[in-house]
Amino acid sequence: MNVEDVTNLKTESRNPNTTNIGKMNGYEVAKLINSEDFAITKAIEKVTDAIGMAIEQAATNFQNNGRLIYIGAGTSGRLGALDAIELTPTYGVPATRAFGLLAGGEKAMYAAVEGAEDSKELAIEDLKNVNLNSNDVVISLSASGRTPYALSAIEYGNKIGSLTIAVICNPDSPMAKASDVAIAPVVGPEVVTGSTRMKAGSAQKMILNILSTGIMIKSGYVYENLMINVQPTNEKLVARSISIIEQILQVKEAVAREIFNDSHKNIAVGLIMFKLNLSYEDAMSLFEKNHRNIHKIVGMDN
C-alpha cells in the first residue's frame, strides 16, 4: 500500500477539530475526545439493518452447529477475541464454538507481531488449522477494510462456503465488497490521526456487542432479557443465577435455590425441570437435543 492509498482512507484522514489538541490541558482533551465519540452511535445507527441481517444469518448457522470465528489483526483482532471469550461465561458457549484468531497467533494478543497483518497466506493457514467449514461464520475485522490478513479470511471463507461478515469502518473497501454482509459505520477521522483504536475501535466493539448478543438471543440463550446460561463461577454469579430463577418462575428464594442445586447449577435446565416436571437427566437430554435452545422446549408464554 502506498502513501496516497493510506491518506485517502477515511480512517486515516486528519480531523480538523483536533489539530490544536496538543496545546490543550487535560480537561479540554477529555471534553474534546468525548465530543468526537458522539459520532460513533450516529454512525452505527445508519448500519443497524446490516447488523440485523448479520444476526439473522449468523444465528441460523450457529444453530446448525456452525462456529463463530472472529479474525483480524492488531486492535481489531483483539476486540474480536475479547467478544468471543466473553460468550463462555455469559452464555455458556464452549470455547470451541466461539473463538478469535489473531494475525501472529496468541502472542499477538499482548504484543505486536511484525508483518503478520500483511500476510494473506497466514489467514488461510490459520483457518485451515481450525478446519473451517460451510456452517461456520467468519467475522473478519479491520478498521480500514483492506488489511491483507483480514481480507484473505473473507476470501477463503467465501471459497469454503462459510458466512462471511466484515466489521469495518470504510464502506468502499475490498472487505466490504468481498463479504456476504458488510457492517461499515463511517465514524470520521480519529482525534489522533490514524489511531483507529479510538473511534473505529469503539465502533467495532459496540457492533460486536450487538451482533453476538443478537445471535445468542436468536439461538435461545436468553429468556426474556435474562442470562439463563450464565456460568456461576463465583458468589456473585451464584446469587445472580438464583435471582434469575426467582424472577422467571415467580418463586421464593428457598425454592429457587433448591431448583438451582437440583439442576447442577444450570439455570436453563432448572427451568425445564420445573416447567415440564422432568428429572435432571431427562431435562439435560432434552436441552442438548434442542441445541441448548430453551425456546424450542419452553416458550416464554408457558
What amino acid positions are annotated as catalytic residues?
Answer: 86, 117
What number of other Cβ atoms are within 10 A of residue 134's Cβ?
12
Question: How far is 257 from 156, CA to CA, in rounded Å?
Answer: 48
Question: How far is 151 from 175, CA to CA, in rounded Å?
Answer: 5
Q: H or E stretch including 71? A: strand 68-72
**Which residue in this structure is represented by grid cell 462456503?**
161
Q: Is 142 helix (H, G, I), strand (E, B) or coil?
A: strand
| Burial class of residue 300 (count of CB atoms within 10 Å of its CB; 0-12, 13-18, 19+) | exposed
Give the DSSP per-residue string, 148-213. HHHHHHHHHHHHHT-EEEEEES-SSSHHHHHSSEEE-----S-SSTT-TTTHHHHHHHHHHHHHHH
Give Cα 278 distance to the centre of its chain: 34
Region of 126 (left: φ > 0; alpha: ψ -120 to 50; beta: rest) is alpha
Q: What are phi and psi of 292, to 5 degrees?
A: 60, 20
For the chain, state the CA radius of gyration. 22
Question: How far is 84 from 98, CA to CA, in rounded Å?
Answer: 5
**Which residue in this structure is represented by grid cell 416436571?**
277
The type of residue at 228 is I
